Structure 1
Amino acid sequence: MRKIILGIMACITFGSANAQSTKFGAKGGLNISSVTGHDEETKSLIGFHIGGFAEIKVMKKLAIQPEFLFSTQGTTIEAAEGSSNTDLKLNYLNIPLLAKYYITDAFTVEAGPQMGLLVSAKSKGYDIHDLYKTSDFGFNLGCGYNFTENLSAGLRYTIGLTNVADISDEYQDYSDFYNQSFRNSNLALSLAYKF
């Protein structure tokens, strides 16, 4: 994990040194997330994300955009008739590193990898952090619209690439359930402001 973080920091430093311009900003918005791979029926869980970013212009139409976001994710597991649904709440510190291309001054597209660090995992008020891996990797695809030079909106889908379930020896009774390769899936709608 240290190598990944150091690699991201090296990219940011290199990009800053060679960039035409760098702008910093804040962003936040709505998450519609799920965890795929369950045998049970699941529904999307509504959450939010908030954090900051740097937009490092490397060419007129191309920028590198590292971000640091707190993100509430998870899923709702639908219960059998007569029982209540269960919310699985997974909170992450996500670090995306995006290549952002300006199709026009107003419209952008973006793509890039993301590393997530698990902050908490809860279900029905119980801490289930031990049943989930401390890191997650995904890939982002998105687009954005710049209302002004400073204010923009974005739509992004994050595809989970790794199994987030972590079953240890003490939980072998649940191994069939937790070895189903659960992967995060998240659709995010954001508002961002560049300073």
Structure 2
Amino acid sequence: MKRFFLLTAMFTLLSVFSIHAQRVTGVLSGFKAGINVSSLNSDATEIDEIDARVGFQAAFFVEIPFSRSFSFQPELQYSAQGGKLEEFRVNYIHLPLMLKYNVTDYLNIHLGPQVGLKIWEWEQDQNDNFNNLNYAVSGGLGANLSDNFFIEARYVYGLSNITEDVNELNVDQDIKNSYVQVSLGYRL
């Protein structure tokens, strides 16, 4: 039930930004998709030895300019993360809140926090091993290929423990998710 309310709140927030975007001149919206290469970080040696998972990610975004150089970009993003081993796979809906600085007309840097809601995990013996919420900070570079197309590369560093009960996964340390994203996007 908590997941339903949080997911509803996330969709509502992005809808409000989208409606506002249609009324304000210069506000853009669009979508992007690409890959994640995610890894699990922990003090536990057995976690660090798990291979990275290559997964899919896609997002809808609204870009709200403050000035020619600065803008705010909330996103609603699906992301496949975790490790390569099945028991460490988990998928999220993220809400990144990015501040963008346009270095030039073609290059930008962006930085911001994000919150994630778990929507799926590989279930071994029907156990719920991963927390429903996770928090992270992300930053990256973007390059405009044209007025509509762009590419982005982003690094996301997990701040919160993603595991519900570390004993179920036979680990006795906190586990955090970190990943690199590469995306191709289109502004509407």
TM over 0.5: yes
2:28 is matched with 23
Contact 2:21 2:28 in 1 (8 A): no
Question: Which is richer in strand?
Answer: 1
- Count of paired positions: 179
Q: CA deviation at 1:76?
A: 2.5
Letter in 1 for 2:45: D
SS of the residue aligned with 1:104?
Answer: coil
1:49 equivalent in alignment to 2:64:
no
Q: In the TM superposition, what whole-angstrom CA distance separates every residue of 1:100-154 from its partner, at most 9, and x where no partner exists? A: 000000000000001000011116xx37661110000000010000011110000
Q: CA deviation at 1:35?
A: 1.1
Write out aligned runs for 1:169-188 (5 A). 174=167, 177-188=170-181
Q: In the TM superposition, what whole-angstrom CA distance separates every residue of 1:70-124 from its partner, at most 9, and x where no partner exists? A: 11111135xxxxxxxx56211000110000000000000000001000011116x
Q: TM-score normalized by structure 2?
A: 0.83
The structure-2 alpha-carbon separation of the partners of 1:129 and 1:118, relative to structure 1 and needing over 3 Å to count, comes to: farther
Which 5+ residue runs of structure 2 have no aligned equivalent?
none
2:100 is matched with 100
Q: CA deviation at 1:9?
A: 3.5
SS of the residue aligned with 1:9?
Answer: helix
The CA RMSD measured in Å over matched residues stands at 3.0
1:81 is matched with none
* Alpha-carbon distance in structure 2 between the residues aligned to 1:87 and 1:166: 13
* Alpha-carbon distance in structure 2 between the residues aligned to 1:26 and 1:129: 34
Contact 1:122 1:129 in 2 (8 A): no
2:71 is matched with 63
Of 30-39 and 132-141, deviating more is 30-39
* Alpha-carbon distance in structure 1 between the residues aligned to 2:125 and 2:110: 35
* Alpha-carbon distance in structure 1 between the residues aligned to 2:68 and 2:169: 51
Larger radius of gyration: 1
Q: % of aligned pairs identical?
A: 28
Contact 2:21 2:62 in 1 (8 A): no
Which 5+ residue runs of structure 1 have no aligned equivalent?
78-85
2:45 is matched with 39
